[in-house]
Amino acid sequence: MANYIIINGSPREGNSKEISEFIDENINDDVEIFNIKDKNIEFCHADNACKASGECGIHDDAYDLINKLEECDGAFLVTPIYFARLPGPVYTLIDRFFSKFNPAKGMKEPDENKKLGYVFTYGNTEEELKEAYGSMAEQNAVPLDF
Ligand SMILES: Cc1cc2nc3c(=O)[nH]c(=O)nc-3n(C[C@H](O)[C@H](O)[C@H](O)COP(=O)(O)O)c2cc1C
């Protein structure tokens, strides 16, 4: 059985939570929903300790998630859009990926067998969104039949 992680980036129980649960219910696999609002995620300390030790020195929920993402078969990011970008807590999580990122030693190629999906929930119209996100929205947005 495949193993998927859904990261719900909303700080409330709203649209992203509902969509995360919809995906979970419709995937016939082992799914974990990581609700960012319930997690303890420290800011990246930016002290480069991970570059010396090879792993993040902050052992919180982000640490556990980042290590699980390496092992899982795929992941989804389901998140609201705030001010035409991702919400702050999602950026805090993304910064923590610095521990897996070491250009000085060569980039590790992403595993092409892993699947990554994302769902952005937002209040703007489709046209307003395209204006804000340009080609990314045009090329990658896939309507979710829901
Ligand atoms: C602080 C804040 C900023 C937002 N900025 C945008 C925005 O720039 N564009 C947009 O379309 N919707 C914006 N929204 C609306 C949310 O993206 C939308 O309601 C989303 O579906 C909320 O997801 P949730 O229910 O999972 O929290 C904003 C909402 C908040 C609270």
| Rounded distance between C-alpha atoms, residue 105 and residue 118, angstroms | 29
Instruction: Check if the beta carbon of residue 9 is closer than 8 Å to that of residue 87.
Output: yes
Question: Is 96 in a helix, a strand, or coil?
Answer: helix
CATH of the domain at 38: 3.40.50.360
Asked whether residue 146 is domain-assigned, the answer is no
**Ligand 1 centroid, distance to 92 Cα (angstroms):** 18
Residue 105: partners with Cβ closer than 8 Å, 6 or more residues away:
none
Atom of ligand 1 nearest to the CA of 12: 27
Task: Quote the ligand 1 centre to 112 CA distance (angstroms).
Answer: 32
64 belongs to a structural domain: yes
Using a 10 angstrom Cβ sphere, with 0-12 exposed, 13-18 middle and 19 or more buried, the burial of residue 7 is buried
Residues with CB under 6 A from ligand 1: 10, 12, 14-16, 80-84, 121-124
Domain with 62 in it? 3-140
Mapping DSSP onto H, E and C, the string for 34-52 reads EEHHHCCCCCCCCCCHHHH
The tens place of each residue's pLDDT in the chain, 146 residues long, gives 899 999 999 999 999 999 999 999 999 889 999 999 999 999 999 999 998 888 999 999 999 999 999 899 999 999 999 988 999 999 999 999 998 887 676 667 778 888 999 999 998 887 776 776 665 555 555 544 43
Residue 65 included in any domain = yes
The model carries a pTM of 0.87
Nearest C-alpha to atom 28 of ligand 1 is from which residue? Answer: 82
- Pocket probe for ligand 1: among 19, 37, 81, the residue whose CB has the most ligand atoms within 8 Å is 81
Residue 44's Cα: distance from chain center in Å? 16
Count how many domains the chain has.
1
